[in-house]
Structure 1
Amino acid sequence: MNDVERLAATVEQLTERVRLLEDRIEIMQLVAQYGPAVDSGSGDAAAALWTEDGLFDAVPQRRMEGRAEIAAMVHGPGHGSLIENGCGHVLTVPHIEVDGDEATGRSYALNIRWDAENDLFRVTRVSANTWRWVRTPEGWRTAERINANLDGTAAHREMLAPKK
């Protein structure tokens, strides 16, 4: 291999690595937008993080299919009560595996609520999350998010296990 071929190979490798880094950053930014969107009551912004037919399964409370159902959850009275009384949805940085135009990941989510009576915040829910993202013409979007309470259920803990 001559110098020109080595340089071309190096540029190709670097291009692939930069694209992978950009993909991971875009997906992390997508996940990071969820909490502020739902905590501000911005249902359409939250729903736009998913594909049109995306799935959000909040085990065992509610299974939402499509952007309209996700937006309706945010605009609904149950969620409205949460944010009106002080609530924060905090998602951790996910572990992301990118495979072309698809990606999978796992992370934690915390639901933190204001306890006015005791003048403090309480973590009221900690959950395991598995994710499936797809690259769309608009950028990366969530195709599926499964959010299950870490309540001792073995299957919920298993969601966090590294994939082999």
Structure 2
Amino acid sequence: MSETDELRATVDMLASRVRALEDHLEIMQLVAQYGPAVDSGSGDAAASLWTDGGTFDAVPQLSMRGREDISGMVHGSGHQSLISNGCGHVLTVPHITVAGDEATGRSYALNIRWDAEADRFWVARVSANTWRWVRTPEGWRIRERVNANLDGTGEHRAMLAPPETGTPSRPPEGR
């Protein structure tokens, strides 16, 4: 192999690695935007993190289909009550697997609430999350998020297990 060929191979390898790093960083930034968007009551900003037909299942409470449903949840009375009483949605850094223009991942989410009488915050909920992201002309967006309480249910814990096929598991329908 000539020096020129070696240089081309090195540049190609570095370009591939930079793109992988950029993909991971963009996806992590996408996930990091969710908590501040919903906690500020910015439904349109939260919904814009998804694709037009993206889904968000908060198992077993709520199943949202499309940006309008997600924005509606943020503007709804239940969510507005949470944030007006003091609430933070904290998502951990997801484990991400990128395959071309699609990616999958898993992470935790914590719902932390303010207790004015006790003058403290408390963790109201810890949940498992599985994610499916897709590269769009606007950048990476969420295609699917499943959020299930870690309430001892085996299927919910299994969502956090390293995927055997490279795809995070999801709880059975109706769970």
Tell whether the structures are fold-level matches, with TM greater than 0.5. Answer: yes
Where do 4+ consecutive residues of structure 1 move more than 4 Å? none
Aligned length: 164
In 2, Cα distance between the equivalents of 1:98 and 1:5? 28
Aligned to 2:150: 150
In 1, Cα distance between the equivalents of 2:109 and 2:129? 7
In 1, Cα distance between the equivalents of 2:35 and 2:158? 24
SS at match of 2:79: helix
Q: Which amino acid aligns with 1:118?
A: A
Aligned to 2:134: 134
Ranges in structure 1 where 5+ consecutive residues have no aligned partner: none
Ranges in structure 2 where 5+ consecutive residues have no aligned partner: 165-175
Q: Which amino acid aligns with 2:51?
A: T
Aligned to 1:5: 5
2:128 aligned with 1:120: no
2:41 aligned with 1:37: no
In 1, Cα distance between the equivalents of 2:115 and 2:45? 27
CA RMSD of aligned residues (A): 0.4
- Percent identity between matched residues is 75
Give me the TM-score of the superposition, normalised by structure 1: 0.99
What is the deviation of 1:81? 0.2
Q: Deviations over 1:44-94 (max 9, x none)?
A: 000000000000000011000000000000000000000000000000000
In 1, Cα distance between the equivalents of 2:33 and 2:154? 29
Q: Which amino acid aligns with 2:138?
A: E
What is the deviation of 1:2? 1.0
2:91 aligned with 1:80: no
